Structure 1
Amino acid sequence: MDIAGFSAKLNDWLANAALPMWRGKGFDVSSGGFVETIDMTGEPTRANRRSRVQPRQVYCFAEAGRRGWPGDWQSVARSGIAYFDRVYLQPSGFYGALADADGNLIDASFDLYNQAFALLSFAYLAQVFPERKAEMIERSNTLREKLEAHCKHPSAGFEEDNPPRLPLCSNPHMHLFEACLASEDVEGFDAVAWTNLADEIAALCMGHFIDRETGALREFFDQDWSPMPGDKGRIVEPGHQFEWAWLLLRWGERRGNADALVKARRLFEIGEQYGIAQPRDVAVMTLLDDFSVADAVARLWPQTEWLKAAIRFAALTQGEERERYLRSSARAASALMKFLDTPVSGLWRDKQKADGSFVDEPAPASSFYHILCAIYELDDCLKRL
């Protein structure tokens, strides 16, 4: 199947299976929040609910609505953000980490990652609910300012908490970078503040997260943004090579920054050359900095990031180079489809073992953000070809 065929198939699955499933079974009417997982029979579980799932699902339904999905996205987007505030929002202004299925907070700890997704949801809610734009502008500014006051790193980026704890991590910065790019684009948001923060994170990524010798992006860092000592500092995740490549392509195209495009290309090469297991043809979870495989399990989300990066490269290139990225896009889409082959349509597998079999477990709601974004990115980039 060519990439246009995959796009049509994925869009049909999204509109007619996944969105109805997660709008129906994935939304807890009694609490007004989103469930953590749905089992393979299509029934929600009572698993504890990570706070990040709430704004991620809000993003999914807000963006589906913005793009014309005719289902009832409005009520779950509104209820989801209200539940997120009611259950997780702390007196500090930050969001806690984990609640049980009854809405009792069981872990109030700070995680930069969770705040990043709150910011992303504010940007999308402002676009689909014009009557709440002023509120979302205020909430966005307030949370960004709180982060800068609470855990700003002395040189660039953010620490993990206050007082700081190690390791420092690139991953929450990646999602904060994504929130910046979304926020600087929304009319009425503080474009200067969001643009400046996006530029700061891009510089931190290109100067410290990405290894100057190999071009690979590391995950864990010491207090001065040098790699964390020991094996932890050697971790390289193929999914994040692709995801950072996609973000740097977006930022580099907006800013006219050629260096970002060069670094993104190298990140993609590393992910594709070393991170795709054969003969499964799926992106694995973890490499070390010598590009040896440390964890051959393939999770769903790296396949979506491979697809997003490959199709955006195709949109930005010409001729044989474009054709190469289109072929890579089709491989990534094929890899993703393997995870979407479930007994009940609209769900997904999360983990494929090294022998090609899938772990029998419920579908995690957190993956929907990756899948939906990849399908819509594929749509947008195919229009640019």
Structure 2
Amino acid sequence: MPASRSDPIDSSVLALVADLRRHYRDIVLPLWRTTGYNPDLQLPYEALDGTRLQVLPVTRYRAMACARQLYVHTTAGATDHAARLFDALRKRFVHPEGGWVYSVDAQGAPLDTTHDLYTYAFVIFACAAHYGATRDRRALDLLGATAGQVETRFSAPAGLYWAQLKSDLSAPLQDVQQNPVMHLTEAYLAARQVTGDAAFTTALQRIVNGMAGTFLHAPTQCITELRVGVPDNRIEPGHQFEWLALSRSAPDVFGDTVLGDALEHGFTFAQARGVDMATDGVCAALDLNGTIIDATQRIWAQTEYARALAVHGDPAVSALLKRQLQRLRERFLQPRGWYECLQADGLVARTDMPSTTPYHLATSYDALPSA
């Protein structure tokens, strides 16, 4: 949530925020209404070459990517483009068994027809935003139907959800994983906000308890990517920051819970072990002892760190926001877009710009203070 208007806000921070939002509005979003958009299929391409601003070779289109683009253009007020994406989502990705296919091929034919929780979560999230902005009843109906499918199809023990199911729904393909459940939490929070349906609160409370019992690593108080006890598990600092931001948006769900208390400690651990004090870059992954095992710095983790700093509530933590925003602008944004990944030494590790990344910019910038 953005800082209260009654809070004293450094004018230089406000100027930084305005600059970031201007870059997003004038540089990032127009790319995905022009070069990054296929008007024949009415779908966003998966990625652009950030150097030449050309579409990278097309092998697939994902429903999740379409949903994220629907979210960013809806929340940016691009009504016509959002309407096209909403129509394409319903036309291109509906599963023969009901629900959603994971992807279609370059011609728009079904490609991967497994049922993917991450995908379903983003459909709910995007439909919540679209309904909130347009009051299009079709988005509300789609939100409700998809949430119902999540509850009936993906339900797993301990109040959580399988990450992926076979195409015919006969069995899980992937075990419960942190990331899809986190985005389902985000989606249910958005759905609750626009519908007022108490069933989402009940589901969220169940998820919070399930996450504490399944993914909370006691020594670090961090949320692991796989179930606690699974070999080769890891901690992603960006996800600790993301969970903290979600918790700040719903104190009635997270307050006075084991998970809610742990997230404070997890934030501190991730900040101490996963943020390079020289550059403020957030690394990709730590082992369970807090040692960096992947030093790559992805832009989404930087935006989640900024969001967490903005909503944390502790003045000493919030004071770090200005520096993080400066680092984000200087290190990751470029005049024609952004750098998706940097190495720890600051060299560009990837030159592609995925269509999924503007979602992270949007949610982070939305949490930043305004005048």
| TM-score where L is the length of structure 1 | 0.86
Q: What is the rounded CA distance, in whole Å, between the counterparts of 1:146 and 1:11 in structure 2?
A: 36
CA change 1:303–1:18 in 2 (3 A) is same
Q: What is the rounded CA distance, in whole Å, between the counterparts of 2:288 and 2:350 in structure 1?
A: 31
1:238 maps to 237
Mean CA deviation greater in 331-340 or 235-244: 331-340
Q: CA deviation at 1:86?
A: 2.0
2:255 maps to 257
Q: CA deviation at 1:20?
A: 2.0
Is 1:201 aligned with 2:207?
yes
Q: What is the rounded CA distance, in whole Å, between the counterparts of 2:324 and 2:210 in structure 1?
A: 28
Structure 2 residue aligned with 1:79, among 84, 89, 111? 84
Q: CA deviation at 1:3?
A: 2.6
Once the two structures are superposed, the pairs formed by residues 101-180 of structure 1 within 5 Å of their partners are 101-130=106-135, 132-133=136-137, 135-160=138-163, 161=165, 162-180=170-188
Once the two structures are superposed, the pairs formed by residues 1-385 of structure 1 within 5 Å of their partners are 2-40=12-50, 41-47=52-58, 48-65=60-77, 73-130=78-135, 132-133=136-137, 135-160=138-163, 161=165, 162-186=170-194, 189=195, 191-221=197-227, 227-231=228-232, 234-252=233-251, 254-255=252-253, 257-259=255-257, 261-313=260-312, 316=313, 321-322=314-315, 324-342=316-334, 344-345=335-336, 347-379=337-369, 382=370
Q: What is the rounded CA distance, in whole Å, between the counterparts of 2:254 and 2:153 in structure 1?
A: 32
1:52 partner SS: helix
2:319 partner SS: helix
The one-letter amino acid paired with 2:148 is E
Q: How many residues align?
A: 353
1:314-367 residue CA offsets vs partner (Å, 9 max, x unmatched)? xx3xxxx41x2223222332332245433x42x111111132200242211111
Q: What is the rounded CA distance, in whole Å, between the counterparts of 1:102 and 1:339 in structure 2?
A: 37
Q: CA deviation at 1:21?
A: 2.2
2:293 partner SS: strand
> Alignment RMSD, CA only?
2.0
Structure 1 segments unaligned to the other structure (5+ residues):
66-72, 222-226
Q: What is the rounded CA distance, in whole Å, between the counterparts of 2:331 and 2:272 in structure 1?
A: 21
Q: What is the rounded CA distance, in whole Å, between the counterparts of 1:257 and 1:43 in structure 2?
A: 46
The one-letter amino acid paired with 1:152 is S
1:281 partner SS: coil
2:36 touches 2:47 (CA, 8 Å); kept in 1?
Answer: yes
2:160 touches 2:211 (CA, 8 Å); kept in 1?
Answer: no
Q: What is the rounded CA distance, in whole Å, between the counterparts of 1:332 and 1:209 in structure 2?
A: 28
Q: CA deviation at 1:212?
A: 2.7
Q: CA deviation at 1:166?
A: 4.2
1:244-267 residue CA offsets vs partner (Å, 9 max, x unmatched)? 111112222x44824455322212
1:39 touches 1:361 (CA, 8 Å); kept in 2?
Answer: yes
1:79-124 residue CA offsets vs partner (Å, 9 max, x unmatched)? 1122222222102222122223332332111110000000001101
1:69 maps to none
2:320 partner SS: helix
Q: CA deviation at 1:30?
A: 2.0
1:141 touches 1:190 (CA, 8 Å); kept in 2?
Answer: no
1:197-244 residue CA offsets vs partner (Å, 9 max, x unmatched)? 1111122223332223320110112xxxxx24211xx21001101001
1:70 maps to none
Q: What is the rounded CA distance, in whole Å, between the counterparts of 2:275 and 2:191 in structure 1?
A: 33
1:291 partner SS: coil
Mean CA deviation greater in 195-204 or 255-264: 255-264
Q: CA deviation at 1:286?
A: 0.5
The one-letter amino acid paired with 1:84 is L
CA change 1:86–1:339 in 2 (3 A) is farther
The one-letter amino acid paired with 1:378 is L
CA change 1:255–1:164 in 2 (3 A) is closer
CA change 1:279–1:119 in 2 (3 A) is same
2:204 touches 2:253 (CA, 8 Å); kept in 1?
Answer: no
2:4 maps to none
1:35 touches 1:46 (CA, 8 Å); kept in 2?
Answer: no
Q: What is the rounded CA distance, in whole Å, between the counterparts of 1:45 and 1:218 in structure 2?
A: 33
Q: What is the rounded CA distance, in whole Å, between the counterparts of 1:117 and 1:174 in structure 2?
A: 11
Give the structure with the higher percent helix. 1
Q: What is the rounded CA distance, in whole Å, between the counterparts of 1:338 and 1:87 in structure 2?
A: 38
Q: What is the rounded CA distance, in whole Å, between the counterparts of 1:16 and 1:272 in structure 2?
A: 32
